Amino acid sequence: MTYLSLIKKTGRYRFQRGIPADLRPFFPGKGSTWRENLDTKDQAVARQKCLEISARVEKLFQDARRQLEASRKLAAPNRPPPDVIHRLVTHWKEHELYRRAQAVINGDPYSYGRLIEENKINGGLRPPEKSYETDVWMKHREIEDAQLRQWMNELILGTGYTLSERGADQYVFWNALRNAWFDIMKTEEKWYQRDYSGMPTTLPAPLERPQAPQLAPEAPRLSPKAQTTLTEALERWATPSSVVGSRARADRTIIEARYAVRRFTETHGDLEVPQITRRMAREFRDLLCRIPKGLPKHLSDLPIRELVELDLSDYENRHAGTINKTLNLLKAIVNFVKSEGDFDDNADSTNPFDIQIILDDFVDNKYEPFSAKDLNKLFSSPIFSDGLRPKQGRGETSKWLPLFALLHGARRGEILQLTVANIRKGDQAEFHEVSITTEGDKTVKTLSSLRTIPLHPKMVELGFLEHLERRRKLVGDNGSLWEGFDERAKLYGRSVRWSKWFHGYLAEHVVSDQFKKFHSFRGTFKRFGNDARVPEPHLDAICGHASSEVARAYPKARNASGTHDSGYSMKTLFESISMLTFNGVDFSKIQ
């Protein structure tokens, strides 16, 4: 029998052999199948490695079989007695109360929302409403049961005791933990009603885990292939695939993923992925909730546990959506290495980072468009009316980047990637075209972001073509269109710093509003376009928004730059973009 298996996604071979059901407890972390990557695409080499591993695994199975026969002559598996269950649950309750108390004391903005969600799941404080559907109620019961069993497994781990499937120990443990959970929620709800009785102020002592008597021989000492750590998983996830047509991850996404992994390893260390538990992930999530956004470098460089001990009340709270984004990146990394076959033994387990915060649909978290009054104040400010060119604003970029975003509704990242060659005279001589592509190392957010659009005539009127020619003489056709953004490797970091500078400039000269930032130019373009009665599909095509009609994908043609257009001729889009005159906005002061 051959145990050689081909991984179709990578073209590499691996060893794969089923583990007999009665031997699986001897090989924790392996599940039902023993798999080892052979790290080769050469079948002959793979066969030789497979034979070597097969002999080693067969010997391990034989050793395990002998130990299993010996263990069957001894006493039944150790089940935790009631006093041990009581100690474990009491310890868990004390620490959980302290953790929640710290969240209340530190003003965690999401802790009450999590309590409300817990109440929905287990109905511990409030009975179901009359309109509660049976299937929803049953779903909540399943979630409650899964959560309790997760906690039970975490508490029993390392004690030497094992829980039965449906025995008395399982029933006692489950109910004791459930009652403790209810008590915790009742106490926490009183805190939000300003009744602080029962609020712990000191960290409980660590638990001395009870140890079960040794009733069976030790399992064989195995030396399987080392498991992948989270940092190693990140590097594999970030490495582009060599398969033709596969999409590389955006530089920005990789940078954000490295930040997420760095913060998690600061909290728990660089663990092997199977060792990461949901409790660890929850603790990490709760720590993230306490870190504000926009911290200066000397603070953001501090380890996360040191950071949360500081008084950071002067900084703005981090949004729940940002925290979920960090968790989703970690979740994606774990899913990636599992899909590659590293942890097929854990295929039935849930991803520990699948613990996102439920967002409030009634909270308006969208950027707001600028009004005509806001834009007039902007164009009367020193950069536009007095010719000021701050160093932090990267010279001429401080003037032309906001104008480009306003007049085309493009994203910051799309604009800053543009080279001189991306602005070219169109096939029809009356206007220029802007090509937003993935040529070179450029990236876009979505497929619909790939587009060629006409340059707004207002840009020509304000002298943008003269700026274009100056950049062409200075950096050539393949150089950046924007001063200060010539080094592609530093593009993302510089774009973030530029945005911080621009937001400060907005607050000083235009409007100080957390919902009015650089990205607001995109919504401003759409709003003025609607007011000018520009057809919605034309606005979507210019902005790079995904069309809601599948049929619109069919008329797309390949243009001179080699990419597909938006399905509309340049003449049609030029007529539409020319309709955006931005009524009420005075461009005459710009110099």
Give per-residue pLDDT as tens, 478-509: 888 888 888 877 777 788 888 888 888 998 99
The yes-or-no verdict on residue 224 having pLDDT over 60 is no
What pLDDT, in 10s, does the model give residues 447-456? 666 778 888 8
Contacts of 579 (CB under 8 A, 6+ apart): 529, 532, 533, 534
Residues 358, 285: Cα–Cα separation, whole Å = 13
Backbone angles phi, psi at 414, to 5 degrees: -65, -45
**Res 330: pLDDT:** 92
SS3 397: helix
The yes-or-no verdict on residue 12 having pLDDT over 60 is yes
What pLDDT, in 10s, does the model give residues 148-195? 888 888 788 767 777 777 778 888 888 888 888 888 888 888 888 888
Q: Does residue 426 or residue 175 have the better pLDDT?
A: 175
| Token output for 380 | 């009367």
Q: How far is CA 58 from the centre of its chain?
A: 41
Residues 57, 34: Cα–Cα separation, whole Å = 9
Q: At what angle do helices 251-268 and 491-509 cross, to 10 degrees?
A: 90
The enclosing H or E element of 236 equals helix 230-238
The single-letter code of the amino acid at 483 is E
Q: CB of 97 within 8 A of CB of 156?
A: no
Averaged pLDDT of the chain: 79
| Token output for 195 | 């009744």
**Res 444: pLDDT:** 63
**Res 361: pLDDT:** 46
Q: CB of 540 within 8 A of CB of 453?
A: no
The yes-or-no verdict on residue 216 having pLDDT over 60 is no
**Which residue shows structure tokens 């906005």?**
585
User: What is the average per-residue pLDDT within 55-80?
Assistant: 72
**Res 345: pLDDT:** 54
Long-range contacts made by residues 80-85, C-beta under 8 angstroms, separation at least 24?
Answer: 80/156, 80/159, 80/161, 80/163, 80/169, 80/173, 80/210, 80/212, 81/169, 82/172, 84/159, 84/161, 84/210, 85/169, 85/172, 85/173, 85/176
Residues 573, 433: Cα–Cα separation, whole Å = 11
Residues 359, 367: Cα–Cα separation, whole Å = 16
User: Residue 410: CA atoms inside 13 Å, Cβ hemisphere, count?
Assistant: 29
What pLDDT, in 10s, does the model give residues 112-159? 777 777 776 665 444 455 445 556 667 777 778 878 888 888 788 767
**Res 1: pLDDT:** 52
**Res 119: pLDDT:** 74
**Res 340: pLDDT:** 77
The yes-or-no verdict on residue 325 having pLDDT over 80 is yes
SS3 547: coil
428-455: burial string, b at 16+ Cβ within 10 Å, e else: eeebbbbbbbeeeebbbeeebbbbbbbb
Residues 132, 141: Cα–Cα separation, whole Å = 13
User: What is the average per-residue pLDDT within 275-300?
Assistant: 85
The model's confidence at residue 518, banded by pLDDT at 50, 70 and 90, is confident
The yes-or-no verdict on residue 551 having pLDDT over 50 is no
The model's confidence at residue 378, banded by pLDDT at 50, 70 and 90, is very high
**Res 440: pLDDT:** 66
